[in-house]
């Protein structure tokens, strides 16, 4: 379930950095419009406990020009490198829509491979950015053997 999220209250520097990434993304249109984009990259490393640690920011390769809206979001990531932190860590997807000026979170800890239907009334742009975040326990400070997620795969299906 998508839950609306106030990005700037959690980490204002992160919000500014992501807005810069969104503005710098390629502006050219793909040769033909696809109704799907996929991306993958390294996941987060929880070097510090008790805070959300970010993985790579994933988004479409080309800017989708039409008023396209996300209809489904799918993700997959392994938990083999969480080690002894497996039962004490949380994972979530942070979905940012800079066209709609909104951000959303999805609890991804319960299901490491899932597909979620996005309700039409949310009107999430197909140009959204997705980040997997990892939080290791409530312990504050550096972690000796930090848990990490080696790779995250995201797929976005949209309608236009």
Contact in structure between 71 and 117 (CB atoms under 8 Å): yes
Under a CB-based contact definition with an 8 Å cutoff, are residues 53 and 133 in contact?
Answer: yes
Q: What is the pLDDT along the chain (160 residues), one digit of tens a residue?
A: 677 776 665 666 666 666 665 555 444 444 444 589 999 999 999 999 999 999 999 999 888 877 899 999 999 999 999 999 999 999 999 999 988 888 999 999 989 999 999 998 999 999 999 999 999 988 788 888 899 999 999 999 999 7
In the chain, the domains with their CATH numbers are 3-27+35-159 (2.60.120)
Task: Work out the burial of residue 54: count CB atoms within 10 Å of its CB; fewer than 13 is exposed, 13-18 middle, 19 or more buried.
Answer: middle
Task: Report the sign of the C-alpha dihedral through residues 90, 133, 95, 5, in that order.
Answer: positive
Whole-model pTM over 0.85: no
């Amino acid at each position: 379930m998508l839950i609306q999220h106030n990005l700037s209250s959690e980490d204002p520097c992160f919000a500014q950095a992501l807005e810069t990434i969104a503005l710098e993304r390629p502006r050219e249109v793909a040769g033909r419009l696809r109704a799907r984009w996929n991306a993958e990259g390294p996941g987060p490393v929880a070097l510090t406990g008790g805070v959300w640690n970010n993985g790579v920011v994933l988004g479409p390769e080309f800017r989708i020009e039409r008023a396209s809206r996300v209809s489904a979001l799918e993700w997959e990531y392994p938990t083999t490198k969480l080690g002894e932190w497996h039962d004490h860590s949380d994972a979530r997807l942070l979905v940012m829509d800079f066209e709609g000026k909104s951000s959303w979170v999805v609890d991804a800890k319960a299901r490491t491979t899932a597909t979620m239907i996005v309700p039409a009334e949310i009107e999430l742009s197909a140009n959204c950015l997705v980040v997997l975040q990892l939080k290791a326990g409530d312990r504050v400070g550096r972690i000796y053997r930090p848990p990490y997620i080696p790779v995250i795969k995201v797929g976005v299906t949209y309608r236009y």
